[in-house]
Amino acid sequence: MVQDFILEYVKLIAKHPDIISIDTKEIDENLSELFLYVHQDDIGKVIGKEGRMISSIKTIVSGCKPKGGPSYKVSVKAIENEK
């Protein structure tokens, strides 16, 4: 659910929505890390000015998680243009 939200939201603000992907790595029972892979041209839009956009995404993710459910750490990674 959280992964789907992040993926769909970031696709709305990106110039290259077709190559955006998300990967999940479970760190422990109550913590998972979400790696968001975006085109290098979109990295600035996803992070936002002074980190405001990614901070907002993290706030929404923490608010959407079920009570007693796992916490999520969100990381953004740039990928090269795929040809």
Walk me through the domains of the chain, giving residue ranges and CATH numbers: 2-79 (3.30.300.20)
Question: Which has more confidence, 67 or 21?
Answer: 21
Sign of the alpha-carbon torsion through 45, 9, 29, 52 = positive
- Tens digit of pLDDT for each residue in 10-65? 999 999 999 999 999 999 988 999 999 999 999 999 999 999 999 999 998 888 77
Burial class (CB in 10 A: 0-12, 13-18, 19+), 63: exposed
Neighbouring C-alpha atoms within 13 Å toward the C-beta of 50: 0
Which residue reads 């990674």 in tokens?
A: 77
Q: pTM of the full predicted structure?
A: 0.83
Give the confidence band of 82 by pLDDT, cuts at 50, 70, 90: low
What distance in Å separates the CA atoms of residue 78 and residue 64, rounded to the nearest whole number? 25
